[in-house]
Amino acid sequence: MKATVYNRYGPPDVLQIRDVEKPVPKDNEVLIEIRAASVNPLDWRLMRGKPLFARLMTGGLRKPKITRPGVDVAGHVEAVGRNVTQFKPGDEVFGVCRGAFAEYACVIEDKLAPKPTNLSFEDAAAVPVAAITALRGLRDKGRIQRGHKVLVDGASGGVGTFAVQIAKSFGAEVTAVCSTRNVDTARSIGADHVIDYTREDFTQSGQRYDLILAANAYHSIFDYRRALSQDGIYVMAGGGGVQILQTMLLGPLLSLIGSKKMRFFIANMNKKDLIFLKDLLEAGKVVPVIDRRYPLSDVAEALRYLEEGHAQGKVVITVEHGNDT
Ligand SMILES: NC(=O)c1ccc[n+]([C@@H]2O[C@H](COP(=O)([O-])OP(=O)(O)OC[C@H]3O[C@@H](n4cnc5c(N)ncnc54)[C@H](OP(=O)(O)O)[C@@H]3O)[C@@H](O)[C@H]2O)c1
């Protein structure tokens, strides 16, 4: 089978499409014929081995230990391990795995769910990492409630486009922060208010929010804190290196002063949340926003584009198979 492989850290040029052995599922795994995958900032961070934290996380200090990129996946079940009970060959599924930029991959049963019936493979592959991050940030870390004033900073990327829609599905009043070219999209996915960050700095406006989810944080932690209501919660998913350090180091200390909370988190991917999202997707409350599609042969181009930091929604990899008509 064809798979994307890299053996040294570096820019997208380190990626190669190679012929490799088709994997065999372990007892708790499902072998998937991949129809689509999607790219996440995690993919280019692991490929570059930057920041150093990305190397420490995977244990590959000098050379990458993870050599097959790609996490988000959607496709058909081709075979199942002997302990797998919830899937059978032919099922359409989506979830997270290692080595999704390939024709086949083995996926742990608990990281998969049935594909939403109303979604294409491409749309389904856009969902897992970005939408679960948005969901966990809003619901678990941010304690979102109906009627809350929620602001999503970085509302136009993968995490942000899901966050706006998921926050609306919880009954929040949502403000999306994005640049001028994304204002219409933010409105079209349900934002009640849109702030163009090239024209207005929401942290200086005097407006206060019950929950701020920074999909991409580019303000200081003190600015975010100022924009919170009395008992407000700030949750950071991603953004600049300085902002991540600030939130990891200062967040717990600032949370001890007064009643505002400042949190950074790493989302854990699981079947329960995939199924929660499947229901939202099938109800039409959340619709993936796809920016671009690339064939498997152009994974390097897809990562190059995502790394520029201005994707409008998700970037998807489509995988053709010899038996496709
Ligand atoms: N903590 C976790 O578990 C977790 C999980 C997944 C992702 N993440 C992190 O979350 C972050 C977002 O992920 P993603 O998939 O959404 O990335 P992405 O799709 O690459 O984000 C791109 C978007 O960011 C926006 N953006 C760039 N600069 C901005 C600014 N100054 N203010 C507001 N928006 C800005 C861009 O909009 P414009 O073009 O309009 O600027 C673009 O739409 C990444 O850092 C990622 O590593 C964390």
Task: Dump pLDDT digits (tens) for 6-17.
Answer: 999 999 999 999
pLDDT for residue 55: 85
Distance 230 CA to ligand 1 centre (A): 27
pLDDT at 59 over 80: no
Pair 193, 168: CB distance under 8 Å: no
Mean pLDDT score, 29-47: 97
The pTM of the full predicted model, rounded to 2 decimals, is 0.97
For 210, the enclosing helix (H) or strand (E) is: strand 209-214
Mean pLDDT score, 106-131: 98
Please give all residues whose beta carbon lies within 6 A of any atom in ligand 1, as ranges: 40-42, 129-130, 133, 153-154, 156-160, 177-179, 182, 197, 215-216, 218, 237-239, 265-267, 306, 309-312
For 301, the enclosing helix (H) or strand (E) is: helix 299-307
Amino acid of residue 170: F
pLDDT at 245 over 70: yes
Q: How far apart are CA 307 and CA 53, in angstroms?
A: 18
285-309 burial: b if 16+ Cβ within 10 Å, else e: ebbbbbbbbbebebbbebbbbbbee
Q: How far apart are CA 43 and CA 46, in angstroms?
A: 5
Q: What percent of the chain has pLDDT over 90?
A: 94
Mean pLDDT score, 20-42: 97
Pocket test for ligand 1, best of 216, 242, 304 (most atoms within 8 A of CB): 216
Q: How far apart are CA 221 and CA 262, in angstroms?
A: 8
Residue nearest to atom 2 of ligand 1 (CA): 266
Q: What is the pLDDT of residues 274-292, one digit of tens each?
A: 999 999 999 999 999 999 9
Output the CA–CA distances (angstroms, integers) from residue 306 to 191, 221, 309, in the order listed. Answer: 23, 25, 6
Q: How confident is the model at residue 233 (pLDDT cuts 50, 70, 90)?
A: very high
pLDDT at 40 over 70: yes
pLDDT for residue 53: 78
Distance 92 CA to ligand 1 centre (A): 29
State the average pLDDT for the chain: 96
Q: Could you give the angle at the alpha carbon of 239 between the alpha carbons of 44 and 125, nearest 5°?
A: 50
Rounded to the nearest 5°, which phi and psi values hold at 245? Answer: -60, -45
Q: Report the sign of the C-alpha dihedral through residues 192, 203, 162, 294, in that order.
A: positive
Proportion of the chain in helix, strand, coil states, percent, rounded to 5:
35, 25, 40
pLDDT for residue 92: 98
Strands (E), 97-181: 104-108, 112-114, 149-153, 173-178
pLDDT at 115 over 70: yes
Q: How confident is the model at residue 51 (pLDDT cuts 50, 70, 90)?
A: confident
Pair 177, 218: CB distance under 8 Å: no
Q: How far apart are CA 71 and CA 45, in angstroms?
A: 13
